[in-house]
Amino acid sequence: MTRLWLRWLPAVTVPAVIAAGVLAGSVPASAGDPLPAKSPEQVLELIAQHRETSFSGTLDQTSSLGLPELPQTGPGASTGDTAWLELLTGPHTARVYRDGPDNARIQVLDRLAERDIVRHGEEVWFYNSKDNTAAHAVLPAGSKDRHGAGKEAMPAPDQLADKLLAKLEKSSDVSVGTDVEVAGRAAYQLVLTPKSSATLLASVAISVDGQNGMPLGVEVKARGQAEPAFRMVFTKLSLETPDAAIFTFSPPPGATVKELPVKDHKTTGPKERTATKDKDKDKVHVSGTGWESVVEFPAGALTGTGSPGKAPAQQSGEPGGAASLLARASVPVTGGRLLSSALVNVLILDDGRVFAGSVPLERLQAAAAER
């Protein structure tokens, strides 16, 4: 099931990014309709008050990370192991539909093909028109209860804004930049600038709808790079409720359908939790703070094998697999290989461990030496 989820990660990532609120535009807002001036605290409070749960729109994403673009058709096209890298290379367009917490559809428009992820109540479908394959899952009964759980414990918007700002200010200078226009809507631009000089990141600009606080796009810049390293923005947006038929999906004739088992976490017992707790070597470890943080993944996490002492190309039996791609895109360094991009460096050690962060190679090597 791991490979299947990796295959759909680009489609899943789009709503995740929207939900996280890290989205921004770059077109100046209309001078004839200026927004009232707001402080960073007030913009964060506006985000916290956002309640738009029904909308539809088109998202455009571009990347300039210095990574080779992955072909989507023909020889060398991405497989289930490498499709997760597609979001980081080349341009992408997706149509997004949402109606409340239990109805959503994302259509990732590939060249001459389309991928869909659809949720309707407890039913979830994944579909790829390129090979006419589909996967289906049924969420555990009662999973919708989580949407209402804990509401009474949620802080007020101004309290939430204060808490977010307090966390952000520890590692970033937070300001409100020039207003922008996104999909025809005037928006504030919240700008985060890292206080540390030991990070590859230069700034993150987050747009916020000036009327309802809805996140609308993100623009991330890397140090020493004029063009944005990553940009995702709504080009079209409607706050009308989408047609209910959009959330109804049936596999086309001849489609290969696979049923996905979904684990009900309610049934996880104390013994299972204890066993998981003891597997420290299989856990992800984070060192450092803020933008200087380094994430360590256990051996085999990136290549699907825990065999130490092998170069990435040796660990994969598939010509188009993730390990083979990493071998081609990475360069040899002391103790392993380095996959370098404008925003993130990934160090793959000879023993299989992986260290990643928005930091220079030296920081990754130091973190590896400490472990």
Residues 287-311: what's their mean pLDDT? 72
Determine the pLDDT at residue 252.
Answer: 93
Boundaries of domain holding 275: 268-370
Q: Quick one: pLDDT at residue 315? A: 40
On the question of pLDDT at 224 being above 60, the answer is: yes
How many distinct structural domains can be found in the chain?
2
Question: Would residue 349 count as lying in a domain?
Answer: yes
**Overall average pLDDT of the 179-201 stretch:** 94
Q: Is 220 a member of any domain?
A: yes
Domain boundary among 247, 281, 305: 247
pLDDT at 239 over 70: yes
291 and 221 belong to one structural domain: no
Residue 5: pLDDT band (50, 70, 90) is very low
Same domain? 166 vs 308: no
Do 208 and 328 lie in one domain? The reply is no
Q: Averaged over 260-265, what is the pLDDT? A: 75
Domain identity same for 290 and 190: no
pLDDT per position as a tens digit, 196-205: 999 999 999 9
Q: Is 331 domain-assigned?
A: yes
> Any residues with CB less than 8 A from the CB of 56 and at least 6 apart, and which?
95, 96, 97, 98, 237, 238, 240, 242, 246
Which is more confidently placed, 95 or 79? 95
Spatial contact of 178 and 189, defined as CB atoms under 8 Å apart: yes
Q: Are residues 233 and 273 in the same domain?
A: no
Question: Over the stretch 276-291, which tens digit does the pLDDT of each residue have?
Answer: 445 556 688 999 999 9
pLDDT for the residue 310: 45
**Same domain for 304 and 240:** no
Q: What's the pLDDT score for residue 265?
A: 54
pTM across the whole model: 0.74
Query: Does any domain span residue 254?
Result: no
Percent of the chain surpassing pLDDT 70: 67
Confidence class for position 135, pLDDT limits 50, 70, 90: very high
pLDDT of residue 69: 59
Residues 85 and 11 grouped into a single domain? yes
Task: Name the token pair of 64.
Answer: 């300039």
Instruction: Give pLDDT, residue 324.
Output: 61
**Most confident by average pLDDT, 3-7, 144-148, 183-187, 260-264:** 183-187
Cβ-in-10-Å burial (0-12, 13-18, 19+) of 353 comes to: buried
259 assigned to some structural domain? no
Boundary-marking domain end, from 218, 247, 276: 247
Q: What is the CATH number of the domain that holds 157?
A: 2.50.20.10
Asked which of 247, 279, 312 is the last residue of a domain, the reply is: 247
Q: Are residues 241 and 290 in the same domain?
A: no
Domain contains 173: yes
Q: Predicted confidence band at 66 (pLDDT cuts at 50, 70, 90)?
A: confident
Residue 263 lies in a domain: no
Q: In which residue are the tokens 């000089």 written?
A: 197
| Integer Cα distance of 169 and 171 in angstroms | 5
Domain shared by 64 and 211, yes or no: yes
| Domain shared by 212 and 311, yes or no | no
pLDDT at 109 over 60: yes
Q: Which CATH number goes with the domain that contains 318?
A: 3.30.310
Confidence of residue 80 (pLDDT cuts 50, 70, 90): very low
Judged by phi (left if over 0) then psi (alpha if -120 to 50, else beta), residue 62 lies in: beta
Q: Does 262 map to a domain?
A: no
| Listed range (10-24, 52-66, 94-108, 302-316) with the worst mean pLDDT | 10-24
Given this model, what pLDDT does residue 2 score? 41
Say yes or no: 187 and 290 in one domain: no
Do 14 and 158 sit in the same domain of this protein? Answer: yes
For all residues of the chain together, what is the average pLDDT? 77
43: CB partners within 8 A, 6+ apart: 176, 188, 190, 208
